[in-house]
Amino acid sequence: MDRWVAGVLSLAFAGLLPGVVPRAAAQEALFPVSVSVAPRLDFTRDQMALAMAVSDDPDLAAFYGSNGLRPVFQGPEGAARRQAVQAAIAGAPRHGIPAARYRPEALDAGGGLASEVAHARALSRLLRDLTGGVLNPARVDPEIKRQPRRDRVASLLTRFQHAADPAAVVAGAAPDHPAYLTLQEALAGRADLAVPAGLPRIPEGVWRAGMRDPAVAVLRARLAAIGMAGQAGDDAVFDAGLTDAVLTYQRAAGLPDDGVAGPRTIAALNGDGASGRDARQRAIIVALERMRWMGSEDLDRRHVWVNIPEFSTTIVEGGTELFRTRSVMGKDTPEMRTPEFSEMMANVVVNPSWNVPRSIAVRDYLPRLQANRHAVSHLDVVDGRGQVLSRDGIDFSAYTAANFPFRLRQKPSDDNALGVVKFIFPNPWNIYLHDTPSKHLFANRVRAESNGCIRIGDPVDLAHALLSRQTESPAAMFQRARDSGRETWLKLTPAVPVHLVYFTAWPGMDGRVRLFDDIYGRDARIWAALEAEGFGAPSGL
């Protein structure tokens, strides 16, 4: 619906615009109310001017429509509200949002109606940004399957008007989660890993335990500048304490944690390339935006958190990590990248069958069946009713990827592609978590190797952790299902939220923000979209 029309309709349904009375059918379709509201006919010139000035913003139209078109930012009684808006705009950079987005220069230009509308527009836009993000994620990247809540602004405006502390209403609009606050602190530099300027650069090379070199003293000095070097008998010796310091830094910075100061670690400490301060701040700004898309719903209760760039799956409750395992994510191809979304995990499936995705069946297996109908014998050929068919009666050469009418399915077994267990949360993309008989990939640092689903490094332990709330012996419950040899669905009671997320900057349990590679380039696309919205270099926020 056109925003101007939506705004006028909002005011009309509030009974505040004369001569704008939608037909009953339109009322019934757009606003399910049983009684039509008679329009008001007595308006002052100022009220009409205010109505028309905000009619292109449905949230403002609904807000002013509900309060009788009374200004809220004018006169002495509006002073606290004006100050609250101005302070919130000045504080927008703490959320990674430039203050210029809200046109602070227009707030007091002209006074009267102009000032009223300028404050109202700035507040409405700020509340939209804080409650649902600046961007529409699906327009940035279609693999981000999130729909931010954007239905709270009008109610927040009403709360703001009547609050004894209107500034608190604005402050409370942002995600209420400790990770959001930690990211804000990191953006401000209080938890930043950037080394102060003016220190000597670490020379190129590879520095490890046992080495003695003047460069080791430079390395130690840079780590000491961020409180990580520890004590040393000889600054130029790479001792056990320095190894621990390098490990701590690498884990905090999202680097391979081997305790060796190699090219990537040195570049990060020197502030070069993708690990430099601006790149770090960009990652944090994007992470704040992603959190605003999610809000704080379900993030305090027990949930499964799958961070794609971290290649990890965790169970978190009340900000505490209860379980962690390495994971393998989708390959970086359009068909295989793991999407981002949230759903409810309802079942743990023990001894799962593997229904081969059609894309894999026609791409990988159909050519082999055409060459030899008895190839890939571990897979059953299944018809639309789920019946297993004899291959002898099928001419596979008669089919193409477009018209192949069968499904391929692997029965439960020790070498099943899904291993011994899978974790399902119904979604249109058929994404789930599962075991795998191929364990070697979990030793890799970069684990983007699957067809889109998430392979779990410790799947049986994950199953035990998920089942622990509904039985005194989750291991026994799981083993009974395993010993049956049959596909067995264990219902989770209650269902557990699962969030597939993509944070290249995220706080660890130690409170330090860690960085991870932008494996799919999504953060780069989000940053480009933010730049189009007026975001500049992070240091200029």
Residues 347 and 359 in one domain: no
- pLDDT digits over 124-143, tens only? 999 999 999 999 999 999 99
| Cβ neighbours around 85 below 10 Å, total | 26
Does the structure show a pLDDT above 50 at 391?
A: yes
Residues 104 and 62 in one domain: yes
| Residue 20 confidence (pLDDT) | 42
Does the structure show a pLDDT above 50 at 90?
A: yes
- CA distances to 290, 464, 472 from 468, in Å: 31, 6, 7
Provide, rounded to the nearest whole percent, the portion of the chain with pLDDT above 90: 64
Residues 45 and 172 in one domain: yes
Q: What residues act catalytically?
A: 434, 453
DSSP-assigned beta bridge partners for residue 144: 340
| Residue 313 confidence (pLDDT) | 98
Residue in 426, 474, 431 with CA at minimum distance from that of residue 450: 431
| Residue 386 confidence (pLDDT) | 84
In one-letter notation, the amino acid at residue 378 is H
CATH number at residue 333: 2.40.440.10
CATH number at residue 265: 1.10.101.10
Residues 50 and 140 in one domain: yes
Average pLDDT score, the chain: 87
Q: Which residues of 358-381 are buried (b: 16+ CB within 10 A; e: fewer)?
A: eebbbeebbeebeeebeebeebbb
Whose tokens are 């989000």? That residue is 526
Residues 8 and 63 in one domain: yes
Note whether residue 110 is domain-resident.
yes
| Cβ neighbours around 266 below 10 Å, total | 22
Number of domains in the chain: 4
| Residue 232 confidence (pLDDT) | 72
| 471 vs 14: which has the higher pLDDT | 471
Query: What 3-state DSSP class applies to 402?
Result: coil
Residues 460 and 319 in one domain: yes
Note whether residue 186 is domain-resident.
no
- CA distances to 357, 422, 430, 484 from 487, in Å: 18, 10, 18, 8
CB 116 within 8 A of CB 49: no
Can you say whether residue 303 is alpha, beta or left, with left for phi > 0 and alpha for psi between -120 and 50 degrees? beta
What is the residue range of 232's domain?
A: 195-275
Residue in 283, 258, 279 with CA at minimum distance from that of residue 270: 279
| 278 vs 259: which has the higher pLDDT | 259
Last residue of a domain, one of 115, 149, 178: 178
Computed over its alpha carbons, how large is the radius of gyration of the chain?
29
| Cβ neighbours around 265 below 10 Å, total | 24
Tell me how far apart the alpha carbons of residues 311 and 316 are, in angstroms, rounded to a whole number: 16
| 218 vs 26: which has the higher pLDDT | 218
- CA distances to 341, 369, 391, 517 from 372, in Å: 40, 5, 10, 42
Last residue of a domain, one of 410, 443, 475: 410
Note whether residue 386 is domain-resident.
yes
Residues 174 and 255 in one domain: no
- pLDDT digits over 430-479, tens only? 999 999 998 999 999 899 999 899 999 999 999 999 999 999 999 999 99
Q: Is the pTM of this model over 0.85?
A: no
Note whether residue 518 is domain-resident.
no
Residues 16 and 104 in one domain: yes
Residue 386's Cβ-count burial label (10 Å; 0-12, 13-18, 19+) is exposed
| Residue 272 confidence (pLDDT) | 73
- CA distances to 17, 431, 473 from 467, in Å: 57, 21, 9
Does the structure show a pLDDT above 80 at 289?
A: yes
Note whether residue 281 is domain-resident.
no
Note whether residue 511 is domain-resident.
no
Mean pLDDT, range 288-306, rounded to an integer:
89
Query: What 3-state DSSP class applies to 76?
Result: helix
Residues 105 and 239 in one domain: no
pLDDT band for position 541 (cuts 50, 70, 90): low
Residues 498 and 445 in one domain: yes
Does the structure show a pLDDT above 70 at 536?
A: yes
- CA distances to 242, 296, 303 from 496, in Å: 42, 16, 6
- pLDDT digits over 314-354, tens only? 999 988 999 999 999 999 999 999 999 999 999 999 999 98
Note whether residue 509 is domain-resident.
no
| Residue 432 confidence (pLDDT) | 96
In this structure, are strands 448-450 and 320-330 parallel, antiparallel, or unpaired? parallel
CB within 8 Å of 433: residues ≥ 6 apart: 304, 306, 313, 327, 422, 423, 453, 454, 455, 456, 459, 462, 498
Residues 153 and 236 in one domain: no
Residues 41 and 106 in one domain: yes
